[in-house]
Amino acid sequence: MNLRFVQYQKEKMVCRAYPTMLLMVLCAGLLWLSGCEKQEKAAEVKAEFAVDKEYKKGPLTVHVKVDRGEISIADTVRLRLEATIDEKYEVTMPGVAEQLKPYELGLLDFRSFPDRLVEDNRLLVQREYVLAPIVSGSYTIPELAFMFTEKQPAAGGDTAQEATAEPAGGHELRTEAIPIEVTSLLDEKRGDLTITDIKAVAELPQTHKRLWMGIAIAAAALAAAATILYFLLRKKKEKLIRILRPAHEIAYERLRKLTEEDLIGKGQIKEFYERISDILRRYIEHRFDLHAPERTTEEFLLEARQSQTLSENHKTALKNFLEHCDMVKFACYAPSTAEIQKTFDLTKEFIETTRLDQCRIDVTEQVMPPQAAEPARSM
């Protein structure tokens, strides 16, 4: 009797212990997964930047991060500045745009993160810049100066304790220059490239009269349906939020797409010159309101000479650029590797030296599909 009772008590204690043991196992598993997630996030942040240099001075710690040390002329480089400082001090971030040398690396975009507190009640200040090269070569992100000062005590506070003496203007932490290698658009081993002859004009095939009549009727029906649909949608629209982009950003994006297609590597030199000429012509139309794409080179240059918005240097550069492109497109001229690279560099340099953030183009129809471009109704 007693043995049965003891056995029953043991089984009862084991049953009571099962939920506690299960809960402990679950907690341990969650802690392990949390640690793995933190390690993975830290590894991802570290892999995001190829260069991460740390500098310390007093209460200030600075990280200068660059995502790549070598880029092509069609790419961009991302620069992030992180300053961590004690809560009793204030830090002033450097002006990156003022430090960049002209015709080397240009500032394409800027982002400021909200300040936040990290470990030991230290304040983290972050700034991120997107830099774009003007021409190929070896450049550097210059030395940057971070200034920090001790915060002044609040008015009416305890003035018995003397403030720590510091130099006029505060303390300075200066970083080192970071080299950036910008590679050329073309491979040096490709040498001179040739263009295939222009194909003869192809004749249209003979078709039956009934076929043309059917096509005409179908086209008329489609046009009528499109017109009806247009007016129906127009009645529903009250206000459409427009999307505007600077003219130079559109031109840079088209240049990057052009390099990704690698027309030079495929031997399509004529197509490359047609595309890059169209990119610059459309940028001029957006930036200076000159109708370049629809006109011949002679007509456009005549209007450009009368323009007051273009400088004499820009007019001369445009004349040489367009005449060189016409020779390749219409005269079967075979440019050398150096001439192709120079044409690409001149296009980027012209866009960079004439860029204007206030000159924005409506790209709503290009970015938003019809079903997504719903009207925004006013309240």
Cβ distance 264 to 185 under 8 Å? Answer: yes
Distance in angstroms (rounded) separating the CA atoms of residues 318 and 254: 19
Q: Which two tokens mark 348? A: 């980027």
Going through 67-202 in order, the beta strands assigned E by DSSP cover 70-72, 77-86, 89-92, 105-112, 116-117, 122-133, 137-141, 145-150, 171-174, 178-183
Going through 294-368 in order, the beta strands assigned E by DSSP cover 360-362
Q: Which two tokens mark 238? A: 């009250």
Q: Which two tokens mark 25? A: 């196992």
Phi, psi (5° rounding) for residue 84? -115, 125
Q: Which two tokens mark 85? A: 């400082």
Domain ranges of the chain: 51-151+169-183, 236-367
Residue 223 neighbours by CB distance under 10 Å: 10
- Bridge partners of 145, per DSSP, are 174
Q: What is the pTM of this model?
A: 0.46
- Bridge partners of 271, per DSSP, are none
Interacting residues of 9 by C-beta distance below 8 A, sequence separation 6+: none
DSSP state of 189: G
Distance in angstroms (rounded) separating the CA atoms of residues 354 and 252: 13
71 SS3 class = strand
Interacting residues of 252 by C-beta distance below 8 A, sequence separation 6+: 108, 132, 348, 351
pLDDT per residue rounded down to tens, the chain (379 residues) = 444 544 555 555 545 554 555 566 555 555 554 554 555 444 444 568 889 999 999 999 999 999 988 888 788 889 999 999 998 899 999 988 888 876 577 877 888 899 999 988 899 999 999 988 877 888 888 999 999 999 887 655 554 444 455 666 689 999 999 998 888 766 555 555 555 666 666 665 555 666 777 788 889 988 988 888 887 777 655 556 778 889 899 999 999 999 999 999 999 999 999 999 999 989 988 888 877 667 788 888 888 888 888 888 888 888 888 888 888 888 778 899 899 999 999 999 999 988 888 888 887 777 655 544 444 333 3
Distance in angstroms (rounded) separating the CA atoms of residues 232 and 226: 10
Counted residue by residue, the chain has a size of: 379
| CATH tag, 51-151+169-183 | 2.60.40
